[in-house]
Amino acid sequence: IEIYSLHVDCKVTSRFAHTVITSRIVNRANESREATFEVELPKTAFITNFSMSIDGKVYPGVIKEKAAAQKEYDAAVSGGQSAGLVKIRDRKLELFHVSVSIAAASKVTFELTYEELLKRQLGKFELLIKVRPKQLVKHFQIDVHIFEPQGIRFLETDSTFMTNELTEALTKVQNETKAHILFKPTVDQQKVDPELDETLLNGDFVVRYDVKREATAGDIQIVNGYFVHYFAPSEMPVFPKNVIFVIDRSGSMAGRKIEQTRDALLKILQDLRPEDHFSFITFSNRVVEWKSSLLPATEENVASAAAFVQTLSARGGTDINGALLTAVGALGKAENLPERSVSMVILLTDGQPTSGETNVEEIQENIQKAINGKYALFCLGFGFDVSYKFLEKMALSNGGIARRIYENADAALQLQGFYQEVATPILMKIEMQYPENAIEGLTKNSFTLFFEGSEIVVSGKIRNELDLLPVEIKAQSHTSDLTLKEEANVQEKEQIFQDQRYIFGNFIERLWAYLTIQQLLEKAISAPEEDQKALEAQALELSLQYSFVTPLTSMVVTKPADQQQGELANKPTEAG
């Protein structure tokens, strides 16, 4: 089985990435063989299309509601449970895998399309393309086209497998608003060794970039009556933080996990700013406060905390409820905290609650009552014994986010990386306001916190023949209350995309649908049961309308009649 051509074609238009992977395979044997197509794609992406064509006949994938697709599958394979064509691969990726049997001398072309909105983190957008052909490929090519009307501020490529020879196969052409990256190594350049048929291409190919920002009230882009508004202020004073680290030191954390936690906390302590206040609560079946109150992050206090972190050892049960209530209580009674400051609790746990209150619904209720919208709760689940669903619901109900920390060599870096994302809050209570009668289907437009290096994205549909779209942003910074205003000339904005060759015409509409689905699914996690159904129904309708494989839809893959039918591609979620 020979992959004679593999082409990755990626078009990024104003952060929205549309990637098509085409693999052409020929069976050089003199009997039928299995041809396999494997793609690792970002978890944040939605698959939108898949097809295979065998000797000119096309077998398309069809996107349906998950339950309906499952029923169809069960009928096709009596009693068999589908293995699913997509599974979580690691922290960032999921794996799409399909194989089909093809006759001697036959050819098959696989084509997979997925889309995602690139998210700004720590000051840059990152496009990750996983390269793992497992054999030398005669025609191998990665094409990345970027168009950012705001202008490209910087652009870099990075790869885990580059050699001097391979660097020669990489070209980068760029002007003010556009970039084209082409990676096209010959078979000889792909070889580990001229004598062997072993490929160097195994790993990550990454493009990182950021855009220029002039306007204070962000940047508005409009295509076919849909708009997107990007807002990422910088060079603002940072809010002092009051942060309590709530650290699980139950028995299951023993060994590598508590070691990595110690490493990460030591680094995080170094990153605290002098105006921050902080404390630690550790818990097993007992809850222990490091100090009776939050301390300012002076050199002396940080050194004393570091000494404490070194002594962390793990044994006993898991009283998540008690630990979080103690943390919220400590923030509530804290004195001398800076007037305009941001308070947060960061929980790190690797297990289920086993001590104190163990009913997760009760814990969620207790914590939400105690926090009462005053602080943000971030939940980090270490490994796969945690109930991620529980942590995610708790974080989202209390203005924070949840993240799974994967148990591997870089766990300490993952913890540190997470902290860096939330380390510099520069705005609070951000309201993005648009004329009510002129916009429909507006995505989320009020945000509790904005962190330096990230970006707020709001999208919607412009109702009528509007000439000017006025926007107003209200927010609190550390030093003042802000009101920022901007007007976008609809006609002018529409013009920007008219003459772009490689724009897929309705990209802002698809961006709007992608964002709306993501937000509906997220909202459903922490919503009461009766609202959950309505939110999911709405997300399902959009998923089907725009053909996205989301947690509510499945793609049914069809194959030639003599082979296993109706395999399903589902969207795996972190909460399983």
Tell me the DSSP string of 388-453: HHHHHHHHHHTT--EEEEPSSTTHHHHHHHHHHHHS-EEEEEEEEE--GGGEES----EEEEEETT
pLDDT reading at 575 higher than 90: no
Residue with the bigger pLDDT between 79 and 93: it is 93
The model's confidence at residue 77, banded by pLDDT at 50, 70 and 90, is low
Residue 551 belongs to some domain of the structure? no
At 145-189, the pLDDT tens digits run: 999 999 999 999 999 999 888 999 999 999 999 999 999 999 999
Alpha-carbon distance of 551 to 536, in angstroms, equals: 10
Residue 540 belongs to some domain of the structure? no
pLDDT at residue number 461: 96
Among residues 161, 157, 205, which one has the least CA distance to residue 21? Answer: 205
Compute φ and ψ for 265, nearest 5 degrees.
-65, -35
Domain of 80: which CATH number? 2.60.40
In the numeric block, the tokens 């009462």 are attached to 372
The model's confidence at residue 254, banded by pLDDT at 50, 70 and 90, is very high
Domain boundary among 400, 423, 446: 423
Q: Is 226 exposed, middle or buried (0-12, 13-18, 19+ CB in 10 A)?
A: buried
The chain-wide mean pLDDT, for the chain, equals 92
Cα–Cα separations (whole angstroms), residue 436 to 439, 460, 464, 469 = 6, 11, 12, 11
The letter for the amino acid at 483 is T
Tell me which residue range forms the domain holding 73: 2-212
pLDDT reading at 503 higher than 60: no
Does one domain contain both 315 and 197? no
Tell me the average pLDDT across 138-148: 96
Contacts of 409 (CB under 8 A, 6+ apart): none
pLDDT reading at 517 higher than 70: yes
Residue 30 belongs to some domain of the structure? yes
Tell me the average pLDDT across 566-571: 86
pLDDT reading at 80 higher than 60: no
Domain of 378: which CATH number? 3.40.50.410
Cα–Cα separations (whole angstroms), residue 421 to 279, 395, 401, 418, 425 = 19, 16, 11, 5, 9
The number of distinct structural domains making up the chain is 3
Residue 157 belongs to some domain of the structure? yes
pLDDT reading at 245 higher than 60: yes
First to last CA, the chain: 34
The model's confidence at residue 459, banded by pLDDT at 50, 70 and 90, is very high
Alpha-carbon distance of 110 to 104, in angstroms, equals: 18
Alpha-carbon distance of 316 to 335, in angstroms, equals: 32
Does one domain contain both 110 and 252? no
Does one domain contain both 17 and 29? yes
Alpha-carbon distance of 175 to 439, in angstroms, equals: 34
pLDDT at residue number 500: 64
Does one domain contain both 231 and 260? no
Alpha-carbon distance of 15 to 507, in angstroms, equals: 10
Compute φ and ψ for 63, nearest 5 degrees.
-90, 125
Residue with the bigger pLDDT between 464 and 415: it is 415
The model's confidence at residue 246, banded by pLDDT at 50, 70 and 90, is very high
% of the chain with per-residue pLDDT over 90: 82
Tell me the average pLDDT across 219-235: 93
Domain boundary among 488, 510, 525: 525
Does one domain contain both 365 and 462? no
Does one domain contain both 502 and 450? yes
Residue 487 belongs to some domain of the structure? yes
Alpha-carbon distance of 359 to 342, in angstroms, equals: 30
| 14 φψ region: left (φ > 0), alpha (ψ -120 to 50), beta (else) | left
pLDDT at residue number 216: 82
Residue 58 belongs to some domain of the structure? yes
Among residues 134, 146, 239, which one has the least CA distance to residue 190? Answer: 134
Domain boundary among 375, 391, 423: 423
Does one domain contain both 153 and 263? no
Residue 279 belongs to some domain of the structure? yes
List the structure tokens of 221. Answer: 């882009």
List the structure tokens of 534. Answer: 């309505």
Does one domain contain both 51 and 200? yes
Q: Is the separation of the CB atoms in 6 and 139 below 8 Å?
A: yes
pTM value > 0.85: yes
Alpha-carbon distance of 62 to 64, in angstroms, equals: 6
In the numeric block, the tokens 């009997």 are attached to 31
Does one domain contain both 127 and 6? yes
At 309-367, the pLDDT tens digits run: 999 999 999 999 999 999 999 999 998 888 899 999 999 999 899 999 999 999 999 99
Does one domain contain both 130 and 259? no
pLDDT reading at 76 higher than 80: no
pLDDT at residue number 447: 96
The upper half-sphere exposure of residue 322, i.e. CA atoms within 13 Å in the direction of its Cβ, equals: 18
The model's confidence at residue 83, banded by pLDDT at 50, 70 and 90, is low
pLDDT reading at 72 higher than 70: yes
The letter for the amino acid at 4 is Y
Residue 555 belongs to some domain of the structure? no
Q: Is 122 exposed, middle or buried (0-12, 13-18, 19+ CB in 10 A)?
A: middle
Does one domain contain both 129 and 28? yes
Does one domain contain both 382 and 513? no
